[in-house]
Amino acid sequence: MSDSKPIHAHAYPQPIIHTRSGLPAFQDKIRKGLPVTVAFLGGSITEGAGASDADKTSWRGLTQAWLEDRHGAGRVACINAGVGGTDSTFGAHRLQEHVLEHGPVDLLFVEFSVNDGTDRSESIRGMEGIVRGCKRRSPQTDLCFVYTAADKNLGPGVPFNIAVHEEVAAYYGIPSVNYASAIQQGVEEGRWTWRELAPDGVHPNDEGHALYARFAREFLEPFLETGLDAIAEAGHVTSMGRDVLSLPPLEAGNYEYGRMIRADSILSQRGFDYNGLQHRPVMNWRYDDGHLEALNEGASLSYIVTGRGTGLCLFMGPDSGILEYAVNGGPFQEVNLFDDWCKLAYRPVIIVLASGSEPAEMQVEVRNTGRKDMESLGTRLQVLRILSH
């Protein structure tokens, strides 16, 4: 940052932090010297994009190293559930497989303020689904929302996506750390420019990730002071004492019950083969890539789930075609699976096929139309997971 003023440790802008109900369960284990597990659920920024070493110089990796230094390397386990290009809707469906199936989790960082879009209700459904789904399946887990910077999350006032996430955080007493607010303060004070910290306007470089990690430490430090009592803002009881699930949901159709079901569990299919992903390049997926695949017109599959909604997680890439689907015998609807990102690599993308506010049994039929976008190289249909919520 050659054109910026020198930065002294004590002069760093501070992130806006709301401790709200605090981290009572996490803090209790820290005070007792017990092992803790910290999970990071988010998009590419949490996964480590932009860092020279995703596991060492990203904000997630640096936070893990600091926790190990403070609490003991043998007492801290961390889960990287950051997946590039994923929003809170996908995050709510990924929560079980990518976080909770690893075993007990004491602290869950949630970072989707950059990847969530402009649909306020959908963003609430995702973030609320993560909170309620986590507390339903893992009541002892404390949560914290993290708001990273991007062009859209910088500027005067509270940016839209952060404001929406704060609605959920305030309602449920979830702590939050606003990294973007500190970045914006530094920009206004002439300490740095955003492009110096994130050349593409989204993904921080090592210097940007180091700032994020510093902001995370500002939040966590009081909870690691073992002589202190549990920390909570005035007016907030601890999340241990507050029954999150007793609160009426903000959005009745939230993804509280979101989960992913392996594609090979589908019992009725014709013209599909079950394969691992053999095509390259691949981005945004480090997990089991077994999927049902069909190239030809007429290939079909059907499944039944019970829930408030369902969808598909698909691998989309340079040769993705056009599918059609019907729910409960209704008319078939087409989905063109090709977009500009498909030209670059194969990646997971979710589509919601049905959604409602009350649980119901849904029978879904999916077919390969044998047709394609004019820019696509083929008619491939690849079903990675079934979604249910």
pLDDT in tens, 40-67: 999 999 999 999 999 999 999 999 999 9
**Distances from the Cα of 344 to the Cα of 46, 71, 114, 305, 317, angstroms:** 21, 42, 21, 33, 7
pLDDT at 227: 58
Outline where the chain has alpha helix (H).
24-31, 44-47, 59-71, 88-98, 120-137, 160-172, 179-188, 194-197, 206-224
pLDDT in tens, 243-277: 899 999 999 999 999 999 999 888 799 999 999 98
**Phi (first) and psi of residue 252, to 5 degrees:** -60, -25
In this prediction, residue 83 has a pLDDT band, given cuts at 50, 70 and 90, of: very high
pTM: 0.93
pLDDT at 229: 63
Average pLDDT over residues 312-321: 97
pLDDT at 237: 53
User: Which residues, other chains included, contact 73 with Cβ-Cβ below 8 Å and sequence gap of 6+?
Assistant: none
Torsion on CA atoms 293, 297, 298, 299, rounded to nearest 10:
0
Outline where 201-258 has alpha helix (H).
206-224
SS3 (DSSP) at 170: helix
pLDDT at 358: 87
Token pair of 168 as six digits: 């959920």
> Is the alpha carbon torsion for 69, 71, 77, 82 positive or negative?
negative
